[in-house]
A = this chain, B = another copy of it.
Amino acid sequence: MKDFNFNISTKILFGKDQLNNLADEIKKYGQRVLLVYGRSSIKKIGLYDEILKIFKDNSITHFELSGVVPNPRIDKVREGVKVAKENDVDFVLAVGGGSVVDSAKLISAGFYTDSDPWDIVIKKEKVTNALPLGSILTLAATGSEMNTGSVISNEETGQKLGWGSEYVRPKFAIMNPEYTYSVDSYHTAAGTVDIMSHTMENYFTLNDGAYLNDRFAEGILKTCIKYGPIAIKENDNYEARANLMWANSWAINGLISAGKATEWSVHAMEHELSALRDITHGVGLAILTPAWLLYCLDDKTSEKIATFGYNVFDIEKTNSQIYDAKKAIDALKDFLESLGINLSLKEEGFSEEDLPIMAKNCLENKNKSQIDGFKTLKEEDILNIYKKAF
Contacts and interface: CB of A to CB of B under 8 A. Distances in A.
Contact of A212 (B11, B213, B223): B223
Contacts of A18: 3
A12 interface: yes
A47 interface: no
Given A211-B243, A220-B212, A250-B212, A3 B14 contact: yes
Interface of A: 1-18, 177, 209-213, 215-216, 218-220, 222-223, 226-227, 238-239, 242-243, 246-247, 250, 258-259
Given A212-B247, A215-B222, 15 more contacts: A1-B239, A1-B242, A1-B243, A1-B246, A3-B16, A3-B17, A8-B8, A9-B9, A14-B259, A211-B226, A211-B239, A212-B219, A212-B246, A215-B218, A216-B219
Contacts of A14: 1, 3-6, 258-259
B5 A12 contact: yes
B1 A5 contact: no
Contact of A259 (B2, B11, B209, B242): B242
Contacts of A3: 14-18
A362 to B, nearest CB: 32
11 contacts: A1-B14, A1-B242, A1-B246, A3-B14, A4-B14, A6-B14, A7-B9, A209-B242, A215-B223, A216-B216, A246-B258
A11 B5 contact: yes
Nearest to A14: B4
Nearest to A237: B209
Nearest to A221: B215
Nearest to A2: B15
Interface centre among A1, A4, A220, A238 (most CB of B within 10 A): A1
A157 to B, nearest CB: 37
Of all A-B residue pairs in the complex, the 10 with the closest CB atoms, nearest first, are: A3-B15, A215-B219, A209-B239, A6-B12, A7-B11, A1-B242, A212-B223, A211-B243, A212-B243, A216-B219
Given A212-B250, A223-B212, A259-B242, A12 B7 contact: yes
Contacts of A1: 14-15, 177, 238-239, 242-243, 246
Contacts of A177: 1
Contacts of A17: 3
Given A6-B14, A212-B247, A219 B218 contact: yes
A175 to B, nearest CB: 9
